[in-house]
Structure 1
Amino acid sequence: MTSSNHSRIILFIAVFLIGTLTFGQKNKIALINSYLDKTHQSGLFNGNILIADHGKVMVKKAIGYADASKKIPLTTQYRFHIGSIAKEFDAVGLMMLQEQGKLNINDKVSQFFPDLPSWATSISIKNLLQYTSGLPDIKWQTVHSDADHWKDLQSLQKLDFEPGSSYAYNNNNVFLRRRIIEKVTGMPFNEFVLQKILKKAGITNGLVDPTDKDPFMARSFDNNFKQDGLEVPISGWTSLNLEDFYKWAHCIDTFCLINPSSTREIMMPVGQDKQSGLGNGSMDGDKVITHVHDGSAIHYQALVQTDTGKGRTIIILSNQKQGNVYEIAEAIEAILDEK
């Protein structure tokens, strides 16, 4: 089934159900639960969802299987890979270090890694945060570890464009952001995230680069129920459950780790339809208005949407990627807004 057909079916289910109930708060919850159940029954969603409206969690739901065996039901305890949303932790980490006076985002990469080729003298941390560095993407077919990738960077002779002159969303920027944090703090990036970010944000169940030994880790699988491995070519990928993801979204909105100025620096992309360190969003003065970020890895897919004006957060975590998280969020919004 194509992605466009998925979208049509998801929205059809929502429109059909909206006509079956009136819009009291209890009925909204019942309608959302019915919609999510029918979406799962249609083969269009397997995963966990949290919905907060007017600052209160109204739906926290696990739907489907924890792995490809179809023997273990998901619960809300399960953690998921969140794909590119994990890049928020290195972006926030760099802003934390700037606020502590340990670096400046205008510093050049060569200041931290003088052994890299001459291009490192022209790329700033800010370029890495904005994806304007000119670095090419990682050679995913041949890179199997951080060490592999360091060799590629050390042999790279030419950038794709002059830093700051264009935009290219790729993980080379993220890789160097994480390595700079390690260089400045003297801590492995994974440990920095666990101790200096997650712990301070009140997140107790987060994992970085989970393994087969970690309990309550949802495993991703395709539509034929073939299960994926957990190996990753480069390190530093955070996995969260619904409760901790909600804490993280709230932390961004309330500046629990970095101030409004730092948040604005990594919230606002360099142009329309582009990404920043926090994905995408908007601010009015020192207040976050919206924050939207999606991510995918293997057959995982995740989405966080916050609207502080409505006190609303929608978090979607899937371990059977169907490419429809925005459509599911749109249908949920339609129910909540009585449309």
Structure 2
Amino acid sequence: MTTSFCFGQSKADQIIWYLSEGHKVGLFNGNVLVAENGKIVAEAAVGYANAAKKDTLTSAYRFHIGSIAKEFDAVGIMMLAEQGKLKLSDKVSRFFRNLPAWANKISIKNLLQYTSGLPEVKYGSVHGDADNWKDLKILKALDFEPGTRYAYNNNNTFLRRMIIEKITGKSFNDFVQHNMLNKAGIKNGIVDPTEKDPLIARSFDNNLKQDGLEVPISGWTCLTARDFYKWARSISHFRLISSGSTKEILTPFKEGNQCGLGGGVIAGDTVKEHIHDGMAMHYQALEYVENENGINRVIIILSNQRQGNVYKIAEAIYHILDGKPYQKLRE
């Protein structure tokens, strides 16, 4: 069914109605922010903050953003490169001499482009950073020669974060808070929340089974929709790193591959497109930035009851902004 819901409603009203209707049929629970040309067009908090349905979501709730949190270590690496504290050609062995010989082959650029040859984290047995270090120290061989193939996995992310800690002498959490969140004007961001932290949207499945907050490796930044918007603008306006550094972590190994910032296009000093999605447990998030034909749009979608439809939601919102017909979320 295609809907054109106008009847005098503003774009904000249409977007909120669309999301609310999706919630009624069990296809959306979460927070959304939509901005156009630097102004917030719509902000919505739809549904519940936990499986018990005791707490209604508000804009103050923070969400896990899944793989989008990898942007923080990618940007952190480029910040240190700009300061002359590392080179992208540096090998992992420069920072960690107690790793096997394969560390002599893997460059930081390989880690940023997921071309290191490292295997995935062993999620069944890894329950913290110490466990993952043990696995890396006994790893005998890589899956392929670094720089020859692409394999998206979190051991690349883990080593990026550990390199930041090694160089700065700070925990990754402290580095993110002081060197990125504060500079971006983000006051509510949190890394690796625990049960004691307030205003954390808890993820749950369609049977209302709630997930825990434990993660195999550390370093996962959680944001409100408004703070996520500030982060997206900091990237596209080069407030933390230069346009050249931004291009470095927007340029994949091959077309269609992910890189440090997910995916996108940069032309000169303009980020034409920046798209990144992430999942963790039953969280799902989407960061959609487009700068075309004199119009800049940012769509932030944060869900704590993942339905696999964030791109469909973004498409409908985009059509609403353009005054075009769009499809309702349907069972």
TM-score (norm 1): 0.93
- 2:69 & 2:47 partners in 1: Cα distance? 24
The corresponding residue for 1:85 is 68
Q: Is the partner of 2:284 in helix, strand or coil?
A: strand
1:330 corresponds in structure 2 to 315
What residue number does 1:110 align with?
93
How many Å separate the matches in 2 of 1:117 and 1:335? 54
1:41 aligns to what?
24
Aligned equivalents of 1:58, 1:338: Cα separation in 2: 14
Separation (CA, whole Å) in 2 of partners of 1:89 and 1:28? 32
Separation (CA, whole Å) in 1 of partners of 2:291 and 2:230: 14
Q: Aligned to 1:314, what secondary structure does the other structure show? A: strand
Matches within 5 A, 1:1-339: 12=1, 15-16=2-3, 18=4, 20-21=5-6, 26-309=9-292, 310-339=295-324
Post-superposition Cα deviations, 1:281-334, rounded to whole Å, max 9, x if no partner, equal: 001112111100000000000000001232100000000000110010011111
* In 2: Cα distance, 1:286 partner to 1:299 partner: 36
Give deviations 1:220-279, integer Å, cap 9, x for gaps.
Answer: 000011111000110000000011101000000000010000000001212222101000
Displacement of 1:211 in angstroms is 0.5
**Percent of aligned positions that are identical:** 62
CA RMSD of aligned residues (A): 1.0
Alignment partner, residue 8 of structure 1: none
Residue 102 of structure 2: SS of its match in structure 1? helix
The code of the aligned residue for 2:26 comes to G
1:66-87 Cα distance to aligned partner (Å, 9 max, x none): 0011111000000000000000
Whole-Å separation in 2 of the counterparts to 1:237 and 1:269? 22
- Partners of 1:270 and 1:108 in 2: how far apart? 18
Amino acid at match of 1:169: Y
Q: Decide whether the 8 Å contact of 2:11 with 2:41 is kept in 1.
A: no
Unaligned runs of 5+ in 2: 325-331
Alpha-carbon shift at residue 27 of structure 1 (Å): 2.8
Which of the two has greater helix per residue?
1
Q: Give me the whole-angstrom Cα distance separating, in 2, the residues matched to 1:334 and 1:270.
A: 32
Q: Secondary structure at the match of 1:21?
A: coil
Secondary structure in 2 aligned to 1:58? strand
The equivalent of 1:9 in structure 2 is none
**In the alignment, residue 249 of structure 1 is paired with which amino acid?**
A
Runs of 4+ in 1 over 3 A off after TM superposition: none
SS in 1 for 2:204: coil
Where 1:316 maps in the other structure, the secondary structure is: strand
The letter for the 2-side match of 1:66 is: A
Q: How many aligned positions are there?
A: 322
Where does residue 329 of structure 2 map in the other structure? none
In structure 2, give the amino acid aligned to 1:211. T
Contact 2:205 2:306 in 1 (8 A): yes
Find the residue that maps to 2:110 and give its secondary structure: helix
SS of residue in 1 equivalent to 2:10: helix
Q: What amino acid sits opposite 1:312 in the alignment?
A: R
Partner SS for 1:311:
strand
Structure 1 gap segments, 5+ residues each: 1-11
